[in-house]
Amino acid sequence: MTERETEKILEVCLLAGRIMMEGGAETYRVEDTMTRIAASYGITETHSFVTPTGIIVSLQGDNPTRLVRINSRTTDLEKVAQVNQISRKIAAGQLNVQAAHQSLIKLEESHLLFPISYQILAAAFVSGSFLIMFKGVWTDFLPAMIAGGLGYSGLLLIQHYTRVKFFAEFFASLIIGLVSLAMVTFGFGLELDKIIIGSVMPLVPGLLITNAVRDLMVGHFVSGLSKGAEALFTAFAIGAGVAVVFL
């Protein structure tokens, strides 16, 4: 294998790993995928070190070790699934290095998110559903939907302008607290606690919590702890935003 070919394989591995990590995949899945891709192209010995903020990969022999930085982490399971598909195709020998690289670049640039209106609607329905699941009264269904929808719109809006995640989460839960309080004071809702709990649920860092625990359990302590810290910080931001309403 020439040096140029290995270089290209390394690039494909790193790109696949980065897209998966940015989409919210588990650490062990990222490592597994990169190792499999390298193996399907005939490189049996791969070492990778994956953390939520960066990926280091080293292929066998004299090739240089490469590092890629991960700056933004969102939750985009569609991209994780698509990289998975591509890696399956590679393993089946249907894609050569060049084609794999092309399709990964295309995937990275594509925008697969649901439209914003769908997301807000989903958040509103999630909030209402949780109100009923947590044994709230039926008349609070609509108030919870409104508070949850407004809170999530606030999150998207502030995230678009500031790029500081925790700031956006703080303000989103502040909006939820204020809207719920206003609705209860004006007699539109009944149980303030239940409405707030229901509408805050779309903000809860559920993916981070589950991923952090899974990473810790399989022995990826660095990424487990850092994801756990991120989750804890997010939960704190949400709690602080709601707490301001009670002060």
Q: Is 159 in the site for another protein (CB under 8 A)?
A: no
- d(C-alpha 219, C-alpha 235), whole Å: 24
SS (HEC) of the chain: CCHHHHHHHHHHHHHHHHHHHHHCCCHHHHHHHHHHHHHHCCCCCEEEEEECCEEEEEECCCCCCEEEECCCCCCCHHHHHHHHHHHHHHHCCCCCHHHHHHHHHHHHHCCCCCCHHHHHHHHHHHHHHHHHHCCCCHHHHHHHHHHHHHHHHHHHHHHHHHCCHHHHHHHHHHHHHHHHHHHHHCCCCCCHHHHHHHHHHHHCCHHHHHHHHHHHHCCCHHHHHHHHHHHHHHHHHHHHHHHHHHC
**Binding marks (x or -) toward another protein, 92..131, rule CB under 8 A?**
--------------------xxx---xx--xx-xx-xxx-
* Nearest-approach distance from CB 35 to another protein, in angstroms: 16
* Nearest-approach distance from CB 3 to another protein, in angstroms: 33
Contact criterion met (CB below 8 Å) for 24 and 81: no
Q: Which of residues 14-33 bind another protein (CB under 8 A)?
A: 24-26, 29
Q: Is 57 in the site for another protein (CB under 8 A)?
A: no
Among 34, 181, 200, 227, binds another protein (CB under 8 A): 200
Nearer to another protein (CB atom), residue 13 or residue 80:
80
Q: Is 202 in the site for another protein (CB under 8 A)?
A: yes
- Residue 62's CB is within 10 A of a number of other CB atoms, namely 7
Q: Is 37 in the site for another protein (CB under 8 A)?
A: no
Nearer to another protein (CB atom), residue 43 or residue 205:
205
Nearer to another protein (CB atom), residue 59 or residue 172:
172
Q: Is 178 in the site for another protein (CB under 8 A)?
A: no
Among 75, 105, 142, 188, binds another protein (CB under 8 A): 75
Q: Which stretch binds another protein (CB under 8 A): 38-46, 93-101, 183-191, 208-216?
A: 208-216
| Interacting residues toward another protein by CB under 8 A | 24-26, 29, 75-81, 84, 88, 112-114, 118-119, 122-123, 125-126, 128-130, 132-134, 193, 196-197, 200-202, 204, 206-207, 209-211, 213-214, 217, 235, 239-240, 242-243, 246-247
